[in-house]
Structure 1
């Protein structure tokens, strides 16, 4: 296994300075994929005109956003300002979604600081034109063992809808077999239990996703330099549940490019942006890397290996 990782890019000014010359996008630029129509843009999701520039005349069926947790352009904001910033990109999302569409937002909950910003974000969403549908968590984010080694910032997934969007329940089945009997119900005069009535031998994911592995350096899909990367299977599940082939999926915080890659694998078009040229470049390179090698990431290597060698 390679041992050539990058440290976190958002906290290393010297490394950022070394890598920025290798980025093909500058602020305001849009890269469009000639094969499928994916777009990657170096834009700011808080500005409606920049979001409109990314979308053109297209409308999206769903949005998947993973905003930085109380960080905007690497500066920590007071909670109220962070929520005000979130409201801007949520409203901009609503403008580019179709009448019947879905919004998924990954958000942090700092248990050492009143679980912020999660509850504040949820309260803010009450007066916006979305209806809440589910609150999802990945069990692996909870930590193991004693309280000392729990993750302080949990990563939760909020699911909202606009109108009456499609939801494909088949996408929710896991690889975990059903083993528990119970929940008896009378059907056609006969008492049946849940395994008899089921359409599948496997359980659905529900709102606690116990079947997904948190991304770490030994996994092929790992993209070093990117913090809090989401498992591609989690994005696959979301995309398959709430969109159809050739639909447009938007992601305003490209980061490691997971939504872009999942859209490619599931035959959707992804319009994504990031305010940081480095993450735009990583997203594009990850797509190109997948097409040329079939690999989902660089494991313990990185996206700039041809141009830059990490110091030992």
Structure 2
């Protein structure tokens, strides 16, 4: 297996300077894909004019955001500042979404710091007309706090709706094994497995069937410290959008939402305030189209320009 990963890019200013020279878009610019119509903007999600530039008069059906957890452009902020920043991009999400649409937000709950920013963020969302629908937990395989506390392995995903969007039930890979739940159907007693539409269980609001991304997985994009599993994003897109409908992501990072949308035949409009993550997003799409691979495993997107990292 190749062993040439990028380190965390938010901790290596020297490496960032080298990579910036190879980024095709700069702040304020938008790259448009000529094949599927994806749009990648080096834009600020908290700026309404820049979000309007990204949307170009169109509306999305499904938004999937993974904002930095109390980090804005790698600078720690007081919680109150973080919430004020969130208010801006949530409002811009409302403006960019169709009349009936879905909003998903990944958010952290730091058990070492009053479970922030999750509780204050959820309180803030009460000021918006979005309808809360579900609080989903995705289980990681690794965590922290195993010696003096319950191991923290969860990632929180909030699901809201605007209007009355359709929802397509999703199924996991977990086989149904528990019998019971008897019900009379046409005068005959039947049990749940017999009545089921699938041999596997439906996805619930606790996701235990999705592997956390790590360096041995093909989809791994080294240097990206908050990468979500492709399977989780594809589940969301399939549940809350149809082919051809726009998927929106204000925090592109490793480009997972765009890649998932590409694989599921949806155009994705996405932004990142950092030109490096915009470039990674574009290169990941190009890499998929050229090789059929979803990431670089333990390699990295800039191997041609920077073959030997230190």
Please give the TM-score of this superposition, normalised by the length of structure 2: 0.96
1:91 aligned residue: 91
For residues 1-312 of structure 1, the aligned pairs below 5 Å read 1-140=1-140, 143=143, 146-147=146-147, 154-169=154-169, 172-312=170-310
Secondary structure of the structure 2 residue equivalent to 1:137: strand
- Kindly provide the CA deviation profile for residues 23-53 of structure 1, in whole angstroms up to 9, marking residues without a partner as x: 0111100000011100001000001110001
Number of equivalenced pairs: 310
**1:247–1:214 CA distance, 2 compared to 1 (3 A):** same
- Kindly provide the CA deviation profile for residues 263-288 of structure 1, in whole angstroms up to 9, marking residues without a partner as x: 00000000000000000000000000
**1:138–1:154 CA distance, 2 compared to 1 (3 A):** closer
C-alpha separation in 2, matches of 1:77 and 1:209: 31
- Kindly provide the CA deviation profile for residues 142-163 of structure 1, in whole angstroms up to 9, marking residues without a partner as x: 6489346976584211100000
Segments of 4+ moved more than 6 angstroms = none
Secondary structure of the structure 2 residue equivalent to 1:40: strand
C-alpha separation in 2, matches of 1:145 and 1:236: 30
Secondary structure of the structure 2 residue equivalent to 1:62: strand
Secondary structure of the structure 2 residue equivalent to 1:235: helix
Secondary structure of the structure 1 residue equivalent to 2:21: helix
Answer yes or no: is the 8 Å Cα contact 1:142–1:154 preserved in 2.
Answer: no
C-alpha separation in 2, matches of 1:279 and 1:267: 22
Answer yes or no: is the 8 Å Cα contact 1:185–1:193 preserved in 2.
Answer: yes
Instruction: Quote how far apart the aligned CAs of 1:194 are.
Output: 1.2
C-alpha separation in 1, matches of 2:114 and 2:232: 26
Please give the TM-score of this superposition, normalised by the length of structure 1: 0.96
RMSD (Å) for aligned C-alpha atoms: 1.7
**1:149–1:266 CA distance, 2 compared to 1 (3 A):** farther
Structure 1: 5+ residue stretches without partners: none
Answer yes or no: is the 8 Å Cα contact 2:246–2:269 preserved in 1.
Answer: yes
- Kindly provide the CA deviation profile for residues 122-160 of structure 1, in whole angstroms up to 9, marking residues without a partner as x: 111111010111111112256489346976584211100
Instruction: Quote how far apart the aligned CAs of 1:191 are.
Output: 2.9
